[in-house]
Amino acid sequence: MRFSENRKVAFAVLAVCVLVSVFGFGGIGLSRERGKVLTVYDRGADTSLSTRHSVDAYLDSAAENASLMASEAELRIGASTVGDNVAQLAETVTKEADTNKRYEAYDALKSAVEKLYNAVSGKVTGSDFTNFKVAYDDFNQDCNMIKYDDYGKLAAGYNSLISGFPGGVVAGITGQGSLNTFGG
């Protein structure tokens, strides 16, 4: 029996080949793409540098600067609810492993830092304000680095890839959800 003589068998073989190609090789391709994007999140786009220039490193730096601001605020104006909130959110950003939860804490931290800055800037001036202001400026620089990092573009590209067909189906079957772009 030849395939050309039995169209049902030929169609079945073709269907199996298509399904294996789309779902088998497609799943592997999505996994590789996701892995590349997460490597950029963790290690940065240029891994030849001696220091990490990655979203992960910038998040740690932003959290460290926010913690410094909370400490300075407590030292200069005493205990405050806003300062405690900044310290708690900064700790969550530093210790959380899940990128989506880390982003949620980071996003909340940005507005909490602004509230803390407004609370402190009206009460503290001169040299007492210097360390706080430096930490605030560094925090904002870290936020800008996160916003414009290559990771955001790569994550958006990956999300676009899994939003259509067959990427969305393959991603759903293999459990590969969308990636947070961190505002990029």
Distances (CA, A) of 14 to 7, 8, 48, 128: 10, 10, 45, 74
Residue 1 within a domain: no
Helix boundaries (H) for the chain = 7-19, 26-43, 55-77, 81-95, 99-121, 130-148, 150-161, 167-174
Q: Which domain holds residue 158?
A: 7-47+151-174
Q: In the structure encoding, which two tokens stand for residue 34, read together?
A: 């996701």
Residues 74 and 129 in one domain: yes
Strands (E), 32-149: none
Residue 25 within a domain: yes
């509230």: which residue's tokens?
Answer: 115
Number of domains in the chain: 2
Strands (E), 106-164: none
Does this model's pTM top 0.85? no
Backbone angles phi, psi at 144, to 5 degrees: -65, -40
Q: What is the mean pLDDT of each run of 10 residues along the chain (184 residues)?
A: 61 58 56 84 74 86 95 82 90 92 95 93 82 94 93 89 71 72 77
Residues 89 and 110 in one domain: yes
